[in-house]
Amino acid sequence: MTEPTVLRTPRARRYVGRLRLVAQRLVPATASSPAEAVQHMTCLQAQDFRSGRSAVALRSGCAVGDVDAALNAGDIVRSWPMRGTLHLVAATDLRWMLALNGESILHSARRRHSELGITAQDIETARMAAEERLRGGRGVDRPGLFAHWEAHGIATAGQRGAHLLQALCLRAHLVLGPIVGRQQQFVLFDEWIRTSEPVDRAANIADWARRYFRSHGPATVADFRWWSGVLQRDLAPVWDAVRADLVELVVDGTAYFVAPETIAAWEEHDAATLRPQLTPAFDEILLGYADRTPTLDKQHMEQVVPGGNGMFKAALLDGGAAVATWRRKPVKSIVAVDVSSFDGALSKRAERALPGLARRYPFAP
């Protein structure tokens, strides 16, 4: 086994954050298809659908319209593969992700289901009614499906409908597919996703870990376990094989793992990681880790995630670090952003870059 590289420079932690930009394909602007970008990332948080589509566009060098086309073609889908949160994933990957995590997420929701009066029979009744409505390649948005359930005597008020939807998606009965207007349609999983990678628990966990460290590294084992929901007892049997494919960096006594191709790409793109860039709300560059300090200093966490409520604001990066939050200005004639700096004034470099960053940013409708 290759000996780990120990980094002792004062800025070593920030170096970790800059390497993550390369691994996540935020640097350089990689020209690829949206499906390839999602496949590389494995999962991108899409609780906020507009931000999720922008995140894919940033990493593929495509327009948001290209991301929507990939969703409408069935190359990308949206579901709850991990952490009980909506993500964009490659359609071929979703079945094995749900096989790993679906039942554990449902188990964690048992208490809430009990509070809402949701029984196993309720879920089964909702499934049969949904299949009746959707069979034959039809789709329906969330309000339409709720109305159909209500017509069949299935109550949806008070979060019942949302939890029934999630339960059916977690069990691979439904999935969010094409966009009609501005709403994604729910469709039958087996009709929309015709090809899936094999379900093999040990192999899937090993593949998931390799892909995480390739797309998010340098990262720790704790980062991966938090992100994916994979338990240590399941990771342990495959970890040695996964680790053999990675480079280990030790920073302040903490072991980080990263793909060798990220280290190789750094040689060409290190300067580009210092350039300012706008990242969406809920972006993986911050949300994709248990420890976000290589990119976001602890004293600024409250400004990005107020009250620790899990609602990540869009962030401006400069020099590889988050330095401000931002939002689009309500100006019709130009594309501009309002920026709230963490420490007063932005750098001159960031000030100069902002107009161009705003014009080029892939805003989703």
Per the prediction, the chain carries an average pLDDT of 94
Return phi, psi of residue 335, to 5°.
Answer: -100, 115
pLDDT of the residue at 3: 66
Q: CB burial class (10 A; 0-12, 13-18, 19+) of residue 111?
A: exposed
Which pLDDT value is given to residue 254?
Answer: 92
Residue 76 near residue 68 (C-beta atoms within 8 A): no
The fraction of the chain above a pLDDT of 90, given in percent, is 88
Provide the pLDDT for residue 10: 58
- In this structure, which amino acid lies at residue 30? T
How many Å apart are CA 155 and CA 166, to the nearest integer?
15
| Residue 38 near residue 58, CB atoms below 8 Å | no
Q: Does the pLDDT value for residue 6 go beyond 80?
A: no
Whole-number pLDDT of residue 192: 98
Task: Give the tokens for residue 292.
Answer: 């976000």
Give the gyration radius of the chain's Cα atoms.
Answer: 21
pLDDT tens column, 93-131: 999 999 999 999 999 999 999 999 999 999 999 999 999
Name the percent of the chain lying above pLDDT 70.
98
Task: Quote the Cα angle for 111-42-319, to 5°.
Answer: 105
Q: Are 4 and 250 in contact, with CB atoms under 8 Å apart? A: yes
User: Per-residue pLDDT for 189 more than 60?
Assistant: yes
CA distance 245 to 211: 11
Q: How far is CA 112 from the centre of its chain?
A: 24
Query: Rounded mean pLDDT of 322-344?
Result: 89
Mean pLDDT of 157-175: 97
Total-model pTM: 0.94
Extract the runs of DSSP E, i.e. beta strands, from the chain: 5-7, 44-45, 76-82, 85-90, 174-180, 183-188, 247-251, 254-258, 277-279, 315-318, 321-328, 337-341
Half-sphere exposure of 362 (CA within 13 A, CB side): 22
The answer to whether 320 touches 17, Cβ cutoff 8 Å, is yes
Cα(228)–Cα(222) distance, rounded to whole angstroms?
Answer: 10
Domain ranges of the chain: 34-192, 272-360
- Using the predicted structure, report yes or no on whether residue 344 has a pLDDT greater than 90: no
At residue 332 the predicted structure's pLDDT band, cuts being 50, 70 and 90, is: confident
Mean pLDDT confidence for 329-345: 86
Compute the Cα dihedral for 300, 302, 305, 310 and give only its sign.
Answer: positive
State residue 75's pLDDT score: 98
Q: Binning pLDDT at 50, 70 and 90, where does residue 252 land?
A: confident
The full 3-state SS of 5-50, as one line of letters, equals EEECCCCHHHHHHHHHHHHCCCCCCCCCCHHHHHHHHCCEECCCHH
